Structure 1
Amino acid sequence: MLIFSTLSYIYRRTDDEVEALYESWLIEHEKLYNALGEKDNSFQIFKDNLKYIDERDSVLNQSYKLGLTKFTDLTNQEYKLIYLGAKSSGDRRKLSKNKNDRYLPKVGDNLPETVDLRKKSVIVDVKDEGDCGCCWAFCAVASIESINAIVTGDLISLSEQELVDF
């Protein structure tokens, strides 16, 4: 049985509940493991991530909740390598030393503490690029979609594939 405490919050899941949740998660996300021990390893990572999700969601007054996704069987390192194009520190490009204060607030500016662009209808729903390697296209299209929505007031979802095919 998984038992842990966060800020006097105690969350309990039996081993059977966790296993049933894992099995339904496998079906929902069409996960198949072929190598010997691969499913057991995936289950251990799933349990660790589930514990983290439960701990984070138990904190009161958060503006968000975490949940199970198709990535729940990946460690942070695996996720970074597969989906974020993580490279060793030796491969990283050095950031420009030329600093620009163009976007810094000016003296006397009265800026809000936060801005939720979803409520302003200037961003489309999250898109899943999968592992196509064209994150640049998703970034470019998201920027164009938002700029268009800000300027015209019309939020249109554009196709990354058309940009890649061009």
Structure 2
Amino acid sequence: MSALLDMKLLVLVLAILGIYGSQTTACTLPEESMMQKYERWMIQYGRVYRTNAKKESRLKIFKENIERIEAFNDAANQPYKLGINAFADLTNEEFRVA
């Protein structure tokens, strides 16, 4: 009987540690920076810019678009979600003529 009680106590302690560990990890991992998202996106879609100035201007547009996507997806009662695609570095005007 004591072995069964010890086993239940061990399972309970492991469960508590597992929950605590997952919460600690979730809170301490830094959110991916916008630059990291942008760099990953550039690799995924094969984007290469000729100058740093062009890359910076496209980063600004990319950031604005990502913020718009995240705000839309965070809003309640949306029938669909938006995602990042190959056009994430274009303005609405550029997208319309692309």
TM-score range for the pair, normalised by the shorter chain length: 0.5 to 0.7
Q: Against the structure 1 CA distance between its residues 36 and 19, is the aligned structure 2 distance closer, same or farther, given a 3 Å change threshold? A: closer
Q: 2:45 pairs with 29, 50, 59, which one? A: 29
User: Which structure dedicates a bigger proportion of its chain to helix?
Assistant: 2
Structure 1 residue 64 and structure 2 residue 80: aligned? yes
| Structure 1 match to 2:63 | 47
Question: What does the per-residue CA deviation read over 1:15-62, in whole Å, with 9 as the maximum and x for residues that have no partner?
Answer: x61111111000001101013511001100000000100110011121
Alignment of 1:80-91 (within 5 A): 80-82=96-98
Helix, strand or coil at the partner of 1:54: helix
Write the letter of the residue equivalent to 2:76.
Answer: L
Structure 1 consecutive aligned stretches of length 4 or more whose deviation exceeds 2 Å: none
SS of aligned partner of 2:77: coil
Whichever residue aligns with residue 46 of structure 2, its letter is E
Larger proportion of strand:
1
- In structure 2, C-alpha distance between the alignment counterparts of 1:48 and 1:61, rounded to whole Å: 22
Aligned with 2:33: secondary structure?
A: helix
* 1:38 correspondence with 2:50: no
User: Which residue of the partner structure matches residue 94 of structure 2?
Assistant: 78
Structure 2 residue runs of 5 or longer lacking an equivalent are 1-29
C-alpha distance in structure 1 between counterparts of 2:73 and 2:58, whole Å? 22
1:73-110 per-residue CA deviation (whole Å, 9 max, x = no partner) reads 0000011122xxxxxxxxxxxxxxxxxxxxxxxxxxxx
Q: Match for 1:66: what amino acid?
A: L
TM-score (normalizing by structure 1): 0.39
1:126: which partner in 2? none
Shift of 1:68: 0.5
Structure 1 CA distance for aligned equivalents of residues 97 and 77 of structure 2: 32
TM-score by length of 2: 0.65
